[in-house]
Amino acid sequence: MLDFSTASILLVDDNPTNLSVLRQALKELGLNVRIATNGEEALEQVQRKLPDLILLDVQMPGIDGFETCRQLKSNLLTQDIPVIFMTAHSNTESKVKGLSVGAVDYVTKPFEQEEVLARVKVHLQLRYLTCALQQTNETLEERVKQRTDALQKAQVQLVQQEKMSALGQLVAGVAHEINNPIGYIAGNLHQAELAVNDVLGHLRLYQAIFPDAGHAIEENAKNIDLEYLLSDLPNMISSMKVGCDRIKNISTSLRTFSRADKDSKVLCNIHDGIDSTLLILKHRLKANEQHPDIEVITEYTELPLVECFPSQLNQVFMNILANAIDALEESNAGRSFEDIQAHPNQIRIQTQLSPDCQWVVIRIADNGIGISEEVKQHIFDQLFTTKAVGKGTGLGLAIAQQIVVEKHGGAIEVNSLPGPGTEFIINLSLKSAT
């Protein structure tokens, strides 16, 4: 759970009153608060020390909040800092513009302190979850790297067991850590939704019984755009619940990938294993400065459950997909971002039944540089690799072949030529193999 005493907020507003009120309220939560009175000052402060969240006014002297946010999102060091806009404009155009430049949320002036604090809490918790997941991924990558030398000297069976055990424990741990805070958030959101509905119903009752509310109340309702708030507040809570459900789905996929194999085979949905593996590799599929997103095209046919060792098959998918990503990155050498965008990197995954309905066929193809006939002859050999020293163990495809052929009585083959790309074909029998 997030310790608010370690979190920092950058509050950007040219109105001294707003700064004073919000600063005091945020400090009462235990947050470390820094202030800036314009966009230029905010950008300078962010360069000196990264905050966990930014509350950003839209209308300011010099560069406005929209431009400040654009500059933050264009900088690799600051692009992941969540930004909440504070604006007196409640029209849809302003909100859409704010979200389009990278803001995660907005509050409308004049604001309620409780609303601002609630939104700050939610986005700090989400920021905490994201950072925790990134740190765990970095830890996992570091551990795998440290084990590379040992893996090269170990036998294939030992490598398979140790690697999947370590990966499974780490991923299962991530799923567990996600479940705790998201359960707390989801539970509170449910109660908040009930409370908000009660309050809104009570307010509607007041409006019905006392339609002549008086000038002061009517003026205030107009200033805060009461009707819009009444309709929008349930939508906000609904959106947060959707976000919680999405994180729960991610946690479920992580547990699917990391489940430990039993002594005997179990019936398994092959598509679940592929999808959970893609989730683990998602960070490598995303765009960066060198290339756009790697497109993953899944063409699934409805399949029966397959009797197998699920965790071992997940390792096969992991090794083949990771090799496909490596091949695509290698094929990008010397190509411009625009050229790659026009002819995108793709991984295509197809599943189908064999004509006699006795086998499940899984095809994983990339449109990378392909491999030569000479390399193809040795691709499943132990310790054979075409990657640079320290980049590959030469065991991934050897392990994949052993799992598919020896453990599952199936077959694995590769089709490739230099240029068109590479396709791996996995055949798994629907009859139990001993």
Ranges 114-118, 245-249, 351-355, most confident:
351-355
CA-closest candidate to residue 306, choices 296, 295, 317, 297: 317
CA-closest candidate to residue 306, choices 164, 433, 423: 433
pLDDT at 378 over 60: yes
Please report the domains of the chain, with CATH numbers, ordered by start residue: 4-115 (3.40.50.2300), 147-256 (no CATH), 261-429 (3.30.565.10)
148 falls in which pLDDT band (50, 70, 90)? low
Q: CA-CA distance, 196 to 237, in Å (whole number)? A: 9
pTM of the model: 0.48
Q: CA-CA distance, 60 to 13, in Å (whole number)? A: 7
- Pairing of β 32-36 and β 8-12: parallel
- Kindly state the helix (H) or strand (E) to which residue 361 belongs, with its residue range: strand 359-366
pLDDT at 374 over 80: yes
pLDDT per residue as tens digits for the range 70-121: 999 898 888 889 998 888 777 778 778 888 888 888 888 877 778 888 888 8
Edge-to-edge order in the sheet of strand 8-12: 32-36, 8-12, 53-57, 83-87, 105-108
Share of the chain above pLDDT 70, in %: 84
Task: Report pLDDT for 434.
Answer: 45
365 falls in which pLDDT band (50, 70, 90)? very high
141 falls in which pLDDT band (50, 70, 90)? confident
CA-closest candidate to residue 412, choices 319, 282, 303: 319
pLDDT at 397 over 90: no
Q: Say if residue 224 is exposed, middle or buried (CB neighbours under 10 Å; 0-12, 13-18, 19+).
A: middle
CA-closest candidate to residue 423, choices 385, 366, 377, 384: 366
Task: Report pLDDT for 164.
Answer: 57
pLDDT per residue as tens digits for the range 274-333: 998 888 788 888 888 888 899 999 999 999 999 998 888 988 998 899 889 988 988 888
pLDDT at 162 over 60: no
Task: Report pLDDT for 396.
Answer: 75
The two three-digit tokens of residue 249, written as one number = 């789905």
Q: CA-CA distance, 175 to 143, in Å (whole number)? A: 18
Q: CA-CA distance, 326 to 351, in Å (whole number)? A: 22
Q: Say if residue 6 is exposed, middle or buried (CB neighbours under 10 Å; 0-12, 13-18, 19+).
A: exposed
The two three-digit tokens of residue 86, written as one number = 């504070």
Q: Which residue has the higher pLDDT, 434 or 132?
A: 132
The string over 63-75, giving b where at least 16 C-beta atoms fall within 10 Å of a residue's C-beta and e elsewhere, is bebbebbebbbee
Sheet strands (E) in 99-253: 105-108
- Kindly state the helix (H) or strand (E) to which residue 428 belongs, with its residue range: strand 421-429
| Number of Cβ within a 10 Å radius of residue 127 | 18
